[in-house]
């Protein structure tokens, strides 16, 4: 029987250099899409997938994330003094239960694989989810909930995948795909950031994973890969041939919010998806004279 996925790891220890100077004193994961920080969307998605324990791998300058998921006496008092009861209820509604959130520090940002490895003692010996907050998926049924449902059938390791233009394979972990069954694709191989000519396919991993705890053993060696970083993909590649390993073609539109164009697109798409903002935003977009 497949073990239920109860824990999620949120690696938030990266430097966010592509967004400097915004990320000099503010974590990239706190940048808002419309009116919610990226990390808030990720935690909401985990909650919707039935996750009960939230493990953040943070780093220097990331304390705003801890404050965000904490009780704020000053703000509550101020809101209460102004009779803003709706706002208080809204704040309370999404606060994780006491003891459900744990933080550990990645002292040096050595790469995503290293960040996940830093969570090993908090995760323990059960399958767990990993969510990268800068990948945002706009969909009716949250991406991780779709994956948790699929994982009940597949067990093993499951990674969210999407087809990317071949010229972009150098930005992703890319699958050597085996058999396809509905949304599931058997993983025969995985390569981190291959050049377009060398990529085994265009099917690429995005920031949602359900992993077996054996991955920690494969990360132990701490061997740097592409870009001199300890890559999660390299450890995952070493797990192929063991437990079942599938790519999952999720339903939804993914935005790479670690990239400026992707971040701007996400703001527009998420605003257009909201009843209170659609009118104003679409009127503005229509008014733009974009030339040819």
CA 238, CA 212: separation in Å to the nearest integer?
Answer: 12
CA-nearest of 66, 54, 6, 2 to 30 is: 66
Among 14-22, 73-81, 91-99, 145-153, the segment contacting ligand UTP (CB under 6 A):
14-22
Question: What is the distance between the alpha carbons of residues 159 and 210, in angstroms, rounded to a whole number?
Answer: 6
Task: By CB under 6 A, tell whether 142 contacts ligand UTP.
Answer: no
- Of 9, 47, 51, 112, which one interacts with ligand UTP (CB under 6 A)? 112
Q: Which residue is nearest to ligand UTP (CB)?
A: 14
DSSP per-residue string spanning 230-250? --HHHHHHTTTTSS-EEEEE-
Minimum distance of ligand UTP from residue 115's CB (angstroms): 3
- Piece in contact with ligand UTP (CB under 6 A), picked from 12-20, 177-185, 213-221, 241-249: 12-20
253-256 and 203-211 beta bridge pairing = unpaired
Among 7, 8, 9, 13, binds ligand UTP (CB under 6 A): 13
Q: Is 37 in the site for ligand UTP (CB under 6 A)?
A: no
For residue 176, which phi and psi values (nearest 5 degrees)? -95, 100
Decide whether 115 or 150 has the Cβ nearer to ligand UTP: 115
Q: Which is nearer to ligand UTP, 17 or 221 (CB)?
A: 17
The answer to the question of residue 17 lying near ligand UTP (CB under 6 A) is yes
Cα–Cα nearest to 142, from 212, 42, 211: 42
196 closest CA partner among 172, 168, 219: 168
Number of residues interacting with ligand UTP: please give it, by CB under 6 A.
22
Stretch near ligand UTP under the rule CB under 6 A, chosen from 107-115, 140-148, 151-159, 278-286: 107-115
Integer Cα distance of 96 and 39 in angstroms: 13
* DSSP state string for 42-91: HHHHHHHTT--EEEEEE-TT-HHHHHHTS--HHHHHHHHHTT-HHHHHHH
**Is 28 among the residues that bind ligand UTP (CB under 6 A)?**
yes
Options 41, 46, 49, 111; binder of ligand UTP; rule CB under 6 A: 111
Q: Binding residues for ligand UTP, per CB under 6 A?
A: 11-18, 28-29, 57, 106, 109-112, 114-115, 132-134, 258
């Amino acid at each position: 029987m497949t073990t239920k996925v109860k824990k999620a790891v949120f690696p938030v220890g990266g430097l966010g250099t592509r967004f400097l100077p915004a990320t000099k004193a503010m974590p990239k994961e706190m940048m808002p899409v419309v009116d919610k920080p990226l990390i808030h969307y990720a935690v909401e998605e985990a909650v919707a997938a039935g996750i009960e324990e939230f493990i953040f791998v943070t780093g220097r300058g990331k304390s705003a994330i801890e404050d965000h998921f904490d009780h704020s006496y000053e703000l509550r008092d101020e809101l209460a003094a102004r009779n803003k009861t709706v706002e208080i209820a809204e704040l309370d509604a999404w606060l994780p239960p006491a003891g459900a959130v744990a933080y550990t520090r990645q002292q040096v940002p050595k790469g995503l694989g290293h960040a996940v490895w830093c969570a090993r003692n908090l995760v323990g010996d059960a399958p767990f989810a990993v969510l990268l907050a800068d990948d945002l998926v706009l969909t009716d049924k949250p991406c991780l909930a779709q994956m948790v449902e699929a994982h009940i059938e597949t067990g093993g390791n499951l990674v969210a995948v999407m087809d990317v233009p071949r010229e972009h394979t150098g930005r992703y972990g890319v699958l050597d795909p085996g058999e396809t069954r509905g949304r599931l694709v058997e993983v025969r191989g995985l390569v981190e950031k291959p050049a377009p000519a060398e990529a085994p396919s265009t099917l690429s991993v995005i920031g949602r994973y359900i992993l077996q705890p054996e991955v920690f053993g494969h990360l132990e060696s701490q061997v740097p890969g592409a870009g001199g970083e300890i890559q999660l993909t390299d450890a995952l590649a070493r797990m192929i041939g063991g437990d079942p390993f599938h790519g999952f073609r999720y339903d939804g539109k993914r935005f790479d919010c670690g990239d400026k164009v992707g971040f701007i697109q996400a703001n527009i798409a998420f605003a257009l998806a909201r009843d209170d903002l659609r009118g104003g935003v679409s009127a503005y977009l229509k008014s733009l004279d974009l030339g040819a």
